[in-house]
Structure 1
């Protein structure tokens, strides 16, 4: 039997007494989500997702013709409801008391409405159809900016109702799937914008165009050193403004300064920005009452045949032992309440979850590499507004394109962060496995 509503999908986790469940339920429940038909969802859950790689995105979009643009639109048109359907089924597997949480219920409603919207779109046959489809994509992307903070608040409020490992698996699944949907949607929007631009000539290889190094959202010559310096300057400026002090650590970049690779720039900027932000804050706090100059943050770039590895080393005192168990978890243990209060101050987050302001000055200074898109609607966050999501989110982004992120802490001294990026762009997006049709 298939049950179409998450409120009917009970699962047994570690036993708790009835009074505990009742108290937890009363603290998080609200108006029940509406009943949804199941037959349509079953049909789409049966379909397999079709993952893509950066190389495929580049090859397909480099020579942009009308048939290719229409083909891209129909891929996105069918892939989005397929990917959403699998994640809706994952949400339906959660216990009733969890899905009734107002934040998670809102996310469920957003996803179901998007599923219904996209599955009803007929085949795209011409440019006019594609323009209408792109309008729907833009509207949906904007509506879903609230999803990440709502997910985070929901899982923090449901602490104790699910084991931490279940919460983390659920969050990683939904966040990775969210990245995948926004990648293909924003890529198609970027290709459409390029095709409709007055200077587009199908098949042209003119490299004088300032955006020639981009194929849609894929930046073909992503330079590690430039990204580190740009994100570092921005993080330093934010810390300087927040603290009112000039005692901000320098950032020294060594190794292979010319290492380049194809990547989605906003993804890399988020990861690097978050790591540098953590290091700058740790060093600044450790040396704020010291008369000596803070030691620099050292970044080493290593280019190998198949990978680029970046090591970010600081002397900020390391990670306290009590925090280590929660480092990569969305369940922050004793710190959950503080992070929940901070999340309430962040109503919406952009697709990339990067929380650094993109100023007009930066757009002008970096006009060769800055592209309008999800980066243009980033939410500003002062350094002291800690959300507890930076590291787990950064790892989700790193692993999405088959990379990795690891941290090594020497308590009392500092932290080494190791970010590995696939250099060739030939790895498929790491899309979460499909849900099973008989899961509920």
Structure 2
């Protein structure tokens, strides 16, 4: 069936907003077969000029390390806070521009997917807002800039579930491997943007605290071990115990009060400490414990006997800390094992889509795994209020931003955990012995001197 004039105009506008290097390929793809009438769920993003985006894509992102963030924020002065604001003001639109260009390189059919288009619109709106922020010269300018940051953080909570649904739906036009690379690139960049935005918001909150006075401490601060969002002395034992308890409680709620949960046995260098962002570590270890505890419970069936324990070993080396979590939950099914780290490939595609549809917002934190608010055991959100008068938990990905049932499996926990682990130059590996159990190995940098791992250039610019 032939296209109507409005449809042809819409397609032409979409081609015109692409850089010249992509127009030929997009035009050839669009004209190879008759263009179908677009469904209401397949509306392309509106036309926008590409020259503004081109200027920002030419800029390189400037990676940072935990140590740099720590040294910069420990002695916080007004000039340092303003310098931090201007770094974030320029860095965020730069990183967003590269990801917009990545999305522009997708096939036309993929870009018109309702979920990918939704993410594209969120990114472009944030890009326009951030690039127009004038230079921060005073504390009042910084406070206004922080309001913009908080708004962007809150609005982008729908990015992860919408991206996950989008790549599951565009399999006909984009291969599974390309979808995984695309998803990994966007999520790694998302983590990086939230890190620098939330770190600046935390430094601003510190600067306005009553115990802080222009780089000096007039009173004893609530916790001297925090610099912004960075905890200088993350204790392996404490974090493991907290995550184990949280995962055990969630499993008990999911399977009922009569379920027999495995014990968690800790050994090794339990007093080791290291600088890290707690929410990242909690998410990784929490996901590993959730998988292990659920596997042991399901593998044991309805037996009332005590299940085998989950053993956790902490090893401290000169530059790394390695955490091994071993369970006897029967291992990973052979049909799932090849797709363990994939967002797009593997079985249960339709079930994952259905479950993701029940999660409108996702911050990828351990704290958001709660039962609905109607449950009497639901943990109430933080009562802290930010400078906009709103609940700060709604604008920070470290709060309880959404609630979803702990047994709702959406298929992104392990690949997301690996992205978190690799972000600060660490690693996450899984070894399965079918019929027996699994060993998960998490390695993280002990010194905090590794730069964040970024996809600094858009795919088309690296060719």
1:393 aligns with 2:406: no
1:266 aligns with 2:283: no
Q: Determine helix, strand or coil for the equivalent of 1:376.
A: coil
- C-alpha distance after superposition, 1:147-201 (max 9, x if no partner): 1100001001112321111000000000000000000000000000000111113
Of 202-211 and 113-122, more deviation after overlay is shown by 202-211
Q: Contact between 1:356 and 1:381, CA under 8 Å: does it hold in 2?
A: yes
Residue pairs, 1:234-245, within 5 angstroms: 234-244=246-256, 245=258
- Paired residue total: 427
1:35 aligns with 2:47: yes
* Cα shift at 1:202: 3.3
Provide TM-score, normalisation by structure 1: 0.91
1:296 aligns with 2:319: no
* Cα shift at 1:356: 2.4
Q: Determine helix, strand or coil for the equivalent of 1:220.
A: strand
Q: Contact between 1:42 and 1:437, CA under 8 Å: does it hold in 2?
A: no
Q: Unpaired runs of 5+ in structure 1?
A: 365-370
Q: 2:225 aligns with which of 210, 213, 217?
A: 213
1:68 aligns with 2:91: no
Q: Contact between 2:158 and 2:360, CA under 8 Å: does it hold in 1?
A: yes
Q: Contact between 2:211 and 2:217, CA under 8 Å: does it hold in 1?
A: no
Where does residue 308 of structure 1 map in the other structure? Answer: 321
Residue pairs, 1:154-233, within 5 angstroms: 154-204=166-216, 208-233=220-245
Q: Determine helix, strand or coil for the equivalent of 1:321.
A: coil
* Cα shift at 1:206: 7.9
Where does residue 368 of structure 1 map in the other structure? Answer: none
Residue pairs, 1:4-403, within 5 angstroms: 4-5=17-18, 29-204=41-216, 208-244=220-256, 245-350=258-363, 352=365, 355-357=368-370, 360=379, 373-403=396-426
Q: Determine helix, strand or coil for the equivalent of 2:124.
A: helix
Structure 1 pair 436/211, CA: closer, same or farther in 2 (3 Å)?
same
Question: Distance in 1 between the 2:296 and 2:365 partners?
Answer: 26
Question: Distance in 2 between the 1:320 and 1:28 partners?
Answer: 39
* Cα shift at 1:242: 1.4
Provide TM-score, normalisation by structure 2: 0.86
* Cα shift at 1:407: 0.2
Cα-Cα RMSD: 2.7
Q: Contact between 1:89 and 1:439, CA under 8 Å: does it hold in 2?
A: no
Q: Determine helix, strand or coil for the equivalent of 2:216.
A: coil
* Cα shift at 1:376: 1.4
Q: Contact between 1:182 and 1:351, CA under 8 Å: does it hold in 2?
A: no
Q: Contact between 2:313 and 2:324, CA under 8 Å: does it hold in 1?
A: yes
Q: Unpaired runs of 5+ in structure 2?
A: 1-14, 372-377, 384-391
Q: Contact between 2:425 and 2:445, CA under 8 Å: does it hold in 1?
A: yes
